[in-house]
Amino acid sequence: MRVLVCAAVLLVPSLASAQNHQHTPGMVHPTNRASTTLPTLAGQDAYAAVAEVVRILETDSTTDWSRVNLEALRQHLIDMNEVTLHSAARQTTIDGGLSIEVTGVGRALESIQRMMTAHAPMLDGLPHFVATSAVTPNGARLTVRAEDPADQQVIAKIRGLGFIGLLTVGEHHAAHHLALARGGATPHSH
């Protein structure tokens, strides 16, 4: 414990100086990247996701800046954070798959209800899955079954993925985030 406290004390000055956005002597300007190696991530994960989308929009000559809506993307990223970090999920094994009660309070409750109702149709549209969702007073219920009730491999996959894994299936998030930023999608439709 004493070692951790000492390490934290030693890091505080460097963390404080790392948050100073002013140009300091010896620092290489971002446009002169040939002389230095810069981090690839722009900090906190949601900030980095937005920064990546901004870079894509800036390099695309067809970007219609009058339609760009980065606030919609930010709100969706907040929902993702709430569902991932501030919800409780109780998983129940059912015939052919899994039923998941996802609950939360405040912003997490609202985020759960938006995201579960949006993800169920997306999962249902994938091969091998049948998915439904229902809003509950404390959150939502997500039910996912194998399309073929005899397919033990898909059933095992559903149960192995569980709540958070099922939300990631389909590799749809990156395209959805870009569509949100371009102003071409509603915040919680997939």
pTM assigned to the model: 0.73
The mean pLDDT of 100-108, rounded to a whole number, is 97
Contact (CB, 8 A) for 166 and 142: yes
pLDDT digits (tens, 9 = 90+) for 48-95: 999 999 999 999 999 999 999 999 999 999 999 999 999 999 999 999
Query: Does pLDDT of 10 surpass 60?
Result: no
Whole-number Å distance between alpha carbons of 164 and 151: 22
Residues 6+ apart with CB under 8 A from 153: none
